[in-house]
Structure 1
């Protein structure tokens, strides 16, 4: 198991092993040794650590997190597990453009969302300016390796992040483990991903396909897989 610095009252799911169990199963099933993985919305690093173990010594994880309180604990947790050589922490919010983003911070200081995200904008206690990172720029301008798998959980910010990665979707075609946050996020994800040649699947046993937008659960994780991947490819194919 992973070693984590936790608030044992507020973060029981981590030490009980009940945190995002379907997502944990998907990471273990799909992420392969040697892969590059992006954890978009890494929080304190639980999924980052799972990905780092899955991609093994030949792989690499880029862990994106915007909130300073989470970044501090993310760095500690990666260090506690001796995985600093395999995990690169990127401070900032994955967004539509590589420009400063206004980030709305919730009462706990550990949750927040970029301004312009899907869903309600109220309930925050402060706002911060953080770096915005368009994944197309991060890869094709800045020279970072493209991912084979992306986990994305950014509280409605997926509507922004997906706009900043059209070339990634078209050329790199990573497997995407995406949490949706509301009907607007579901619509944007459906239109963007199916328009880029992806099929969507429920994150449950057997990964059944989602045939239409009306069948898409907008309060859950989905698995997005590129339709053009054949079963002979080294990447995962769900089609």
Structure 2
């Protein structure tokens, strides 16, 4: 009987977040070396450093409560979330991404991170997620749920999808979704959580279709930076107003 092993190629880097004082070691996926987030970390810089500042600002102001974070990729945001949250419930449906997120979480000793090899949606299901582009290149964090899978099409993986409301997750202070156009189904699956806990919501909203749903629940759009939209209930309007002012000072506020 022959024996062997399967492995993923990686780089070992140290990245520095000057404003937060974090200096953290990461494993980076070589197959995703072309992705901007990986390139930034490979050069020793945090990708979207203001987002990390925002996490700390929001979570510490809201008493270090719990977080739902979807689209974990290789785990680049887990350390920052872990430092300021109670528990971090992180979701990554692509197997290779999940392995890197898991290894980075273990390496950094993030004991308050619970990581799921799954996505978030409107109902519990099993869906195809595209993991390579038309040229056959691995998409990494750009992988998306986008249609019907053909037989033996290896550009897709099948991934479990959960509703946030079906999970034993409580006292949520922040929901952050970077799920490549699947934000609205993920939010619909979190309706009860949104109504109960009134978390701050950070979403990319690539399809620009989440506003009506969030507004119907009493949420208001506050600002956007680097494609990430910041929404809050009335109770957190002042909190996000402070963060908006900081974004303006740093020159990263989008008009």
What is the TM-score of this pair, normalised by structure 2? 0.72
Partner in structure 2 of residue 4 of structure 1: 26
1:104 paired with 2:130, answer yes
Q: Assess if the C-alpha contact under 8 Å between 1:69 and 1:109 holds in 2.
A: no
How far off is 1:80 after superposition? Answer: 1.1
Partner in structure 1 of residue 161 of structure 2: 132
Q: Assess if the C-alpha contact under 8 Å between 2:222 and 2:240 holds in 1.
A: no
> Alignment partner of 1:31: what SS?
helix
1:158 paired with 2:188, answer no
For residues 149 and 7 of structure 1, what CA distance do their matches in structure 2 show? 27
**What 5-or-longer segments of structure 2 have no aligned partner?**
1-22, 148-152, 243-255
Equivalent residues in 2 for 1:1-239 (5 A)? 1-7=23-29, 10=34, 11-15=38-42, 16-32=44-60, 34-55=64-85, 59-83=86-110, 85-106=111-132, 107-110=137-140, 111-115=142-146, 126-138=155-167, 143-181=168-206, 185-186=207-208, 188-204=209-225, 220-229=227-236, 236=239, 238=241
For residues 237 and 74 of structure 1, what CA distance do their matches in structure 2 show? 28
> Alignment partner of 1:42: what SS?
coil
Select the structure of larger CA radius of gyration: 2
**What 5-or-longer segments of structure 1 have no aligned partner?**
117-123, 205-218
> Alignment partner of 1:25: what SS?
helix
How far off is 1:161 after superposition? Answer: 0.8
Partner in structure 2 of residue 213 of structure 1: none
Taking a change above 3 Å as real, the CA distance of residues 114 and 226 of structure 1, as seen in their structure-2 partners, is same
For residues 83 and 171 of structure 2, what CA distance do their matches in structure 1 show? 19
Question: Would you say how many aligned residue pairs link Structure 1 and Structure 2?
Answer: 202
**What are the superposed Cα offsets for residues 212-239 of structure 1, whole Å, 9 maximum, x if unpaired?**
xxxxxxx8111111125586xxxx4649
**What are the superposed Cα offsets for residues 103-139 of structure 1, whole Å, 9 maximum, x if unpaired?**
12123152311136xxxxxxx961121111111112x
Aligned CA RMSD, in angstroms, stands at 2.3
For residues 222 and 45 of structure 2, what CA distance do their matches in structure 1 show? 24
For residues 29 and 236 of structure 2, what CA distance do their matches in structure 1 show? 42
Q: Which moved more, 1:32-41 or 1:12-21?
A: 12-21
Q: Assess if the C-alpha contact under 8 Å between 2:174 and 2:201 holds in 1.
A: yes
